[in-house]
Amino acid sequence: MSQRPTLADVASAAGVSVSTASLAFSGAGPIADATRQRVLDAAAELGYSGPNPLGRQLRSGRSGIVGVVVGDALRRSFRDPVSVQLLDGLVDTIGPLGLGVLLIPGPTSPGGPAVDPLVEAAAMDVAVMLWGGTLDDPTLEALARRGIPVVVVEGHELSGVVTVGIDDRGGVAELAAHLRDLGHRRVATVTLPFGPERQGGLADLARREQIAWSIPRRRLEGLLDAGVEPVGVYEAPASLVEHGSAAARALLSGPPETRPTAVVAQSDMLAAGVVLGARELGLRVPEDVSVAGFDGLDLPWLAPDTLTTVVQPIAEKGATVGRVIQAVLAGEHPADDVLPVSLRVGTTTTAAPGA
């Protein structure tokens, strides 16, 4: 037999019907031990390694696949450990449920199609969007058209999709209050990209009106909540160390009288870049300038320094997404979830100079 054996082959070899053979593998339904053994022996004999997943999937209508839409090319998206740790928590949670993760790149090039072909045609039971998009996100629209339920991480409160997020606004507010209490009056901030166009550079007030994505907006609002009006806003095109360094050069090059005494970055990668960039400018951290981040990453290459940062439970967030997926597949309509964050004071912040 040149073809791989099917359940029918095994059944006839074992002298039973296909339905009985199916029972022997699935274990659902009554079957005599002797019969099951006979089927399994026949299977081993024929080199049959279990039911073909495609047949099973068609019948059950389930593919067992969770599509994860990454917001960018992998190499960029996964350079920030946040995405990776989240994915890890997700995989750990849904693995035991028999679900697997299909990676779907976000919009790759400006010239290319708006959505990856996988979004249009791949088999999946549910989709997850890291870095939740906006309401008119073409990916979101395509998934809705296909009737695929969506879980959005850190998105707007959208109708028809479930979101899992954190209290980033409150966390930043707490951080800002900490800096305020340390005497900082000139605070600059480095933000995550405002939208898919990913501009980089100092953002004036007009630009700040155009924030499409919710994370940079909420974290900016957190500052204001604590009464901290930033003296400079730098929009990073991605959450990467080099963009943090560029931000430092842009924000900290002025004379000491007007130079910010503290910089709040919206991610730890950016904050680390700010620290390195500040040092390149000859500034001491934290004596000349305090730097704080967001995420609570472990950055061994920054040792012996540790960032002052807002710690978010990343793996737990991934696990929460996993549980939400489970609920959605069970036909439930889970509520949006917001996880708590906490301030961790490290060695990169101290009292403002002269305060």
- Chain residues in the site for its own copies (CB under 8 A): 4, 47, 49-50, 53-55, 57-58, 61, 63-65, 73-75, 78-79, 81, 84-85, 87-88, 91-92, 95, 98, 100-105, 108, 116-118, 120-123, 145-147, 240-242, 245, 272-273, 276, 280, 300-304, 315
Q: Which of 36, 33, 29 is nearest to 10 (CA)?
A: 36
CB of 284 to its own copies, least distance (A): 17
Contact partner at residue 202 from its own copies, DNA, none, CB < 5 to 8 Å by partner kind: none
Min dist CB 73 to its own copies, Å, is 6
Locate 148 and state its tokens: 């695929």
Three-state secondary structure string covering 70-86: CCCCHHHHCCCHHHHHH
Q: Containing H/E element for 101?
A: strand 100-104
**Shortest distance (Å) from residue 170 CB to its own copies:** 26
Whether 168 contacts 310, CB under 8 Å: yes
Residues of this chain, 208-237, that bind DNA according to CB under 7 A = none
CB of 142 to DNA, least distance (A): 16
174 SS3 class = helix
| The only residue of 1, 2, 3, 330 in contact with DNA, by rule CB under 7 A | 3
Least distance from C-beta 18 to DNA, angstroms? Answer: 5
Structure tokens at 195: 């939208």
Q: Please state, in angstroms and rounded to a whole number, the distance separating the CA atoms of residues 287 and 310.
A: 21
Using CA atoms, how far apart are residues 313 and 53, in angstroms rounded to an integer?
Answer: 35
Rounded Cα gap, residues 70 and 62, in angstroms? 22
Q: Is residue 25 near DNA by the rule CB under 7 A?
A: yes
| Tokens describing residue 10 | 């095994």
User: Given the complex with its own copies, which of 76 and 185 has the nearer CB atom?
Assistant: 76
**69 within 8 A of 127, measured Cβ to Cβ:** yes
79 contacts which partner out of DNA, its own copies, none, CB within 5 to 8 A by kind? Answer: its own copies
Residues whose CB is less than 8 angstroms from the CB of residue 171 and which lie 6 or more positions away in sequence, other chains included: 222, 294, 310, 312, 341, 342, 343
Q: Given the complex with DNA, which of 62 and 249 has the nearer CB atom?
A: 62
> Which does residue 125 touch among its own copies, DNA, none (CB within 5 to 8 A, set by kind)?
none
- Please tell me whether residue 30 binds DNA under the rule CB under 7 A: yes
**Residue 63 or residue 349: which is nearer to its own copies going by CB?**
63
304 binds, among DNA, its own copies, none (CB under 5 to 8 A by kind): its own copies
User: Taking CB under 7 A as the rule, does residue 44 contact DNA?
Assistant: no
Decide which of DNA, its own copies, none touches 18; Cβ closer than 5 to 8 Å per partner kind. DNA
Q: Among DNA, its own copies, none, what binds residue 250 when CB lies within 5 to 8 Å by partner kind?
A: none
Q: Retrieve residue 279's tokens.
A: 């040092």
CB under 8 A, 24+ apart: contacts of 248-255:
248/273, 248/274, 248/275, 248/276, 248/277, 248/278, 248/280, 248/281, 249/277, 249/280, 249/281, 250/201, 250/202, 251/188, 251/190, 251/202, 252/188, 252/277, 252/278, 252/281, 252/283, 252/289, 253/281
Residue 28: which of its own copies, DNA, none does it interact with, CB under 5 to 8 A by kind?
DNA
Name the nearest CA neighbour of 66 among 138, 135, 151, 155: 151
The correct pick among 1, 47, 61, 331 for binding DNA (CB under 7 A) is: 61
Binding site partner of 273, from its own copies, DNA, none, Cβ cut-off 5-8 A by kind: its own copies
**41 makes contact with DNA (CB under 7 A):** no
Which residue type sits at 210?
Q
Please report, as ranges, the residues that interact with DNA according to CB under 7 A.
Answer: 3-4, 6-8, 15-20, 22-23, 25-26, 28-32, 34-35, 51-52, 54-56, 58-61
